[in-house]
Amino acid sequence: MTASLPIRQVEKPWGVDNLPAPFTAPRGERIGEIWFEPPAALPELLVKYIFTSEALSVQVHPSDAQTVAKGIGRQGKEECWLILDAEPDAVLGIGFDHEIDAEAMRAAALDGSIEQLMTWHKVAPGDFFYIPANTVHAIGAGVSLIEVQQNSDITYRLYDYGRPRELHLDEGMAVSRGETYALDRWHRNVPAHGSHVLVDGPLFVLDQVEGTPSPTVAARYPGALLVIPREGSVTIGGETIAPGGCGLASSLQDVRFADNGVCLLARGCQTGA
């Protein structure tokens, strides 16, 4: 079994012409996302790099409970972002400055004023945000980040800056919360080095580790996991995974970590609801 996950480069209207190293974009394409195909051993997680030259749509995702109630199974989407690089004026739109009801939100989405109603957070490398389902959000221009998410492609666009793409106002209004974002709960700054718990369930677990994980961290990963090198390479079953890659390990014991390397570890929580 190959440890390295296959990569898919996804062209987006808001993507970039020149990808940062170690990635390379096909000539003439604006690549916005780099996906690592979810393996059969961990189908519930999707890891992406995202690169923006323009703002993404204002959007929202449903929860597992909502998609189950709709009769389409567990296809909810919660996600988190670790900012890798950001231009000086880069921002993320998450939640609203003040509570807003569904009728006012729909009207604002239709006339474009939803941009002015959202809270825009200035970002820098090391900023980390968790985005619960039902949270209205948008990634601004000039941002590079790693996203770890539930493996779902259900996105409801509420506003897209006049781009000729479909909006999903009925579906979006049904799941959107017109609330402020709990910054003190869902945001933190992650130092470039050191080991830090980033997400502790209930849907997935995510850690940053430097060097070999401590026994405490190791106990959080009893089975299959994803390893995403940030600095230095790791070896999984004899295969080297370098920064820019993502590897699947059947257990933590199969991974050899560089002494001064930094990587992310992730796994799903099958019992998440």
- In the set 106, 157, 220, 267, the catalytic residue is 157
CATH number at residue 76: 2.60.120.10
pLDDT of residue 271: 45
pLDDT in tens, 32-71: 999 999 999 999 999 999 999 999 999 999 999 999 999 9
Rounded to two decimals, what is the model's pTM?
0.95
- The answer to whether residue 23 sits within a structural domain is no
The answer on 137 and 216 residing in a single domain is no
- Domain hosting 217: range is 196-268
The answer on 135 and 228 residing in a single domain is no
If one compares 225 and 1, the residue with the highest pLDDT of the two is 225
pLDDT of residue 28: 85
The answer on 148 and 261 residing in a single domain is no
The answer on 91 and 146 residing in a single domain is yes
Mean pLDDT value of segment 171-182: 97
The total number of structural domains in the chain stands at 2
CATH number at residue 214: 2.60.120
Based on the residue annotation, tell me whether 157 is a catalytic residue of this protein: yes
Q: Is the pLDDT of residue 182 over 60?
A: yes
The answer on 231 and 174 residing in a single domain is no
Q: Rounded to an integer, what distance in angstroms lies between the CA atom of residue 255 and that of residue 223?
A: 12
The answer on 159 and 213 residing in a single domain is no
Domain finish residue from 159, 189, 219:
189
What stretches of the chain adopt beta strand conformation (E)? 7-16, 31-36, 45-51, 58-60, 79-86, 91-96, 118-122, 127-131, 137-139, 143-150, 156-159, 187-189, 196-200, 204-210, 225-231, 234-236, 239-241, 247-249, 255-257, 262-268
The answer on 183 and 89 residing in a single domain is yes
The answer on 206 and 158 residing in a single domain is no
Domain finish residue from 189, 210, 242:
189
Q: What percent of the chain has pLDDT over 90?
A: 95
- The answer to whether residue 39 sits within a structural domain is no
pLDDT in tens, 80-122: 999 999 999 999 999 999 999 999 999 999 999 999 999 999 9
The answer on 247 and 136 residing in a single domain is no
Exposed, middle or buried, 12 (CB in 10 Å: 0-12/13-18/19+)? middle
Q: Is the pLDDT of residue 270 over 70?
A: no
Domain finish residue from 189, 209, 237:
189
